[in-house]
Chain A
Amino acid sequence: MKKIIYLLVTLSLLLAACASPAQSSSEFDINDWDSVLAAAKGQTVNWYMWGGSDSINAYVDTFYGTALKERYDITLNRVPVADAADYVNQVLSEKEAGVEEGAVDLMWINGENFYTLKQADMLYKDWAQVIPNAKFVNWENPAINLDFGRPVDNMESPWSSAQIQLIYDSARTSEDELPRSYADLKEWACANPGRFTYIAPGPGGFIGTRFAKGALYEISGDAKQWLSFDQTLWDSQSPALWDYFNEIKPCLWREGEVYPKDEAELVTLFSNNEVDFSMTQDITGAGRWIIDGRMPETARAFVFDNYMIGDFNYVAIPVNSPHKAAALVLANLLLEPEFQAAQILPENGFGLGFAIDVTRVTDPAQVALLEESASKLGESATPADEMAKALAGDTAAEYQSLVEQDWLKFVLQQ
């Protein structure tokens, strides 16, 4: 009996030893794209991303999944996760355990999560500006080469853009009574008590944090000064910010004692007619939510005249990804003009904006496609010129946690 057990253990160890090198045998040189394609052929790419939206999931599976299979013989395995922090933890645990072939090949990350993995030295390097379609990306733009104020350093590649907007229901609220600034909003909220609330700033409520930062811009009168960190500036300006939120507080939904913790909760409040405004970061405005059946078809997006913060979404590859070649091909595919054009169409259900700079696209057919998409955003989206006019960059990263912690201290718990 004991002998059999020993035999089984030895056998399984042998099998385990044989299995690993066979997988990673596909060598490639990132500067020779054909070698990347050859290495990626037949691989499965495990893409970890937030999976809470049916329409985004369907978009990813149909558009990217089909193209990867047909063009490159790559299988896309989209791994749906409730929170990006979960796969960041997975990668960090793998580092701790010294796992050379991790579970994650590509991940949708942003801001703090990116910085955490970068600090841990767990990101694959020197690729984002090397992939062929990087030529469509304006890497000179600080909104792209900085992620929440942290240098991207060629370790992640953008795939879409986002800008905060508000959503109203045109069947309930008429366009001319919409507030067009934070000051307006306070007046509106107190004239309509209980009909407005915002997402609690915090790691899960990044749109709420962004909303608070916009207020900081307006109250301090300038967005640019917040690009680099300055503690004395924060100390002198932040009290006025918390005054603003405390003044608006009694006029909010449930007198500001509780706040929706994320976008999904605010959308539910909005759709069930408890509050009159929701928030989004989609270029299609309310489009994706309408497709998802989460908002009435009369929902429309709008922006204030100024200080609507926008940025980019990225994908990154962990350094221990076993299928880097396939991950590179996918990251490159995301920037393909035809998919960039597809992702902004409301009916496709993805809803986020371009990552590429459309002026860099030269092929006339692709240019036409991109222009056509941009013209089809529909009435549930904010007009492009209004978005562009109101666009502001994000703050230096240090302000992120300051805003979140001080909001808890001076607004929620005061």
Chain B
Amino acid sequence: MKYVIRALLYLVLVAPLALFIVYSFTEGWFFPAPFPSEWTTTTFQRAMDDPRTLGGMWQGFVIAVIVSLLSLILAFPAARALGLRQFRGRQIAWLVLFLPTVVPPLAIGMGLNILFLRVGLAGTIMGVSLAHLISTLPYTVFTLSSAFARYDENYEHQALALGASPAQIFFNITLRMMTPSLVVATLFAFLVSWSQYLLTLLIGGGKIITLPVLLFTAASGGNPSTIAIKSLLFILPPALVIAFTARELNRHGNDIREQY
């Protein structure tokens, strides 16, 4: 029974991916034909020949990395304060940080685009990255602040009492203890940024083209092969990042277990 459930689970997870792969290499596969009659790499070739495809992946990747770094830098102090301290206006700070998850990005994006156009940030990698921060920050702040809520500041006090410098404390105590949460927060930021469509479209104004922009454009044409290829390319980097993070976190967990 356990195996049946496990097999079913895998099937549900893998079936759509398998379908994408099949669609990527077929043409003219219509209902009610049970199997594709024609296998071809032309659509795949066409997608790879278009410089926008790899260019879009690269730009999206660069933006996602910038966004991940920026949101860590911004979220870390915010999360520390929110997780460790009780202060007046804490609830309001939470609200402000979480507002972007409830306000539709279209409303933010339209206004932001005009502002960014004025200051010359629209249509630049930096502008798009800053816009993505709006969507990623709630996730990074939330992940890190819940970690800080369980964080014992006495470790830092101990180190201070033993004569460690603030930098030493930060790198050897705080950062070490926060590593797993930092990894998870980075992952969230990366994934949210990588899959951003609307803000990229609005702020990028056609100058910044990432894979989701190409994917939505392809979807508007409805060609299943093109959509499948772009979807596969879209899934690939996040899948790699998740696999890598899962391994690292496992190792970290083992390290900690060994220490005790």
Interface segment out of the listed B26-34, B64-72, B86-94: B26-34
Q: Are A97 and B114 also in contact (CB < 8 A) when A79-B209, A82-B216, A264-B221 are?
A: yes
Question: Does B226 lie within 8 Å of A46, measured CB to CB?
Answer: no
Residues of A within 8 Å of B118, CB to CB, are: 97-99
Contact among A52, A53, A103, A296 for B123, CB-based, below 8 A = A103
Question: Does A268 lie within 8 Å of B222, measured CB to CB?
Answer: yes
Q: Are A273 and B30 also in contact (CB < 8 A) when A265-B222, A293-B225, A294-B223 are?
A: yes
Residues of A within 8 Å of B224, CB to CB, are: 268
Most chain B beta-carbon neighbours within 10 Å: one of A99, A292, A293: A293
Question: Is A218 interfacial (CB-CB < 8 Å)?
Answer: no
Q: Are A272 and B31 also in contact (CB < 8 A) when A52-B221, A54-B221, A294-B223 are?
A: yes
Question: Is A48 interfacial (CB-CB < 8 Å)?
Answer: yes
Interface segment out of the listed B136-144, B174-182, B200-208, B232-240: B200-208
Residues facing B in A269-316 (CB within 8 A) are 271-274, 292-294, 296
Residues of A within 8 Å of B52, CB to CB, are: 80
Residues of A within 8 Å of B32, CB to CB, are: 272-273
Question: Does B217 lie within 8 Å of A81, measured CB to CB?
Answer: yes
Residues of A within 8 Å of B28, CB to CB, are: 293-294, 296
26 pairs from A and B in contact (CB 8 Å cutoff): A16-B120, A52-B222, A52-B223, A53-B223, A58-B46, A79-B206, A80-B209, A80-B217, A81-B206, A81-B217, A87-B206, A90-B206, A96-B114, A97-B118, A99-B118, A99-B122, A264-B220, A264-B223, A271-B30, A273-B31, A273-B32, A274-B31, A292-B223, A293-B28, A293-B43, A296-B30
Q: Are A52 and B220 also in contact (CB < 8 A) when A46-B206, A293-B225 are?
A: yes
Residues of B within 8 Å of A265, CB to CB, are: 222
Q: How many pairs of residues, A versus B, come closer than 8 Å at their CB atoms?
A: 102
Contact among B30, B120, B218 for A272, CB-based, below 8 A = B30
Residues of B within 8 Å of A379, CB to CB, are: none
Contact among B113, B123, B220 for A82, CB-based, below 8 A = B220
Residues of B within 8 Å of A262, CB to CB, are: 220, 222
Question: Does A93 lie within 8 Å of B221, measured CB to CB?
Answer: no
Instruction: In the A-B complex, list the 6 residue pairs whose CB atoms are closest, starting with the nearest.
Output: A52-B221, A264-B222, A97-B117, A293-B27, A272-B31, A52-B220
Contact mask for chain B residues 106-134; partner A; CB cutoff 8 A; 1 contact, 0 none: 00001001110110101100000000000
Residues of B within 8 Å of A274, CB to CB, are: 31
Residues of A within 8 Å of B207, CB to CB, are: 103
Contact among A57, A79, A99, A104 for B117, CB-based, below 8 A = A99
Bound CA–CA A104/B204 (angstroms): 12
| Interface band, chain A | 35 or more
13 more A-B contacts (CB under 8 A) besides A96-B114, A262-B222?
A48-B206, A53-B221, A54-B223, A80-B52, A80-B214, A80-B217, A87-B206, A93-B113, A99-B122, A104-B206, A272-B32, A293-B27, A293-B43
CB-nearest residue of chain B relative to A57?
B50
Bound CA–CA A99/B123 (angstroms): 12
Residues of B within 8 Å of A61, CB to CB, are: 50
Bound CA–CA A294/B231 (angstroms): 18
Contact mask for chain B residues 189-221; partner A; CB cutoff 8 A; 1 contact, 0 none: 000000000000110011101000110111111
Bound CA–CA A178/B58 (angstroms): 50
Question: Is A153 interfacial (CB-CB < 8 Å)?
Answer: no
Contact mask for chain A residues 46-72; partner B; CB cutoff 8 A; 1 contact, 0 none: 101011111001100100000000000
A50 to chain B, nearest CB (A): 7
Question: Is A255 interfacial (CB-CB < 8 Å)?
Answer: no
Bound CA–CA A268/B30 (angstroms): 9
Contact among B114, B213, B218 for A52, CB-based, below 8 A = B218
Question: Is A83 interfacial (CB-CB < 8 Å)?
Answer: yes
B119 to chain A, nearest CB (A): 9
Residues of B within 8 Å of A79, CB to CB, are: 206, 209
Residues of A within 8 Å of B220, CB to CB, are: 50-52, 82-83, 262, 264
Bound CA–CA A53/B219 (angstroms): 10
Residues of B within 8 Å of A381, CB to CB, are: none
Question: Is A86 interfacial (CB-CB < 8 Å)?
Answer: yes
CB-nearest residue of chain B relative to A56?
B221
Bound CA–CA A268/B225 (angstroms): 12
B211 to chain A, nearest CB (A): 12
B5 to chain A, nearest CB (A): 32
Question: Is A94 interfacial (CB-CB < 8 Å)?
Answer: yes
Bound CA–CA A60/B71 (angstroms): 40
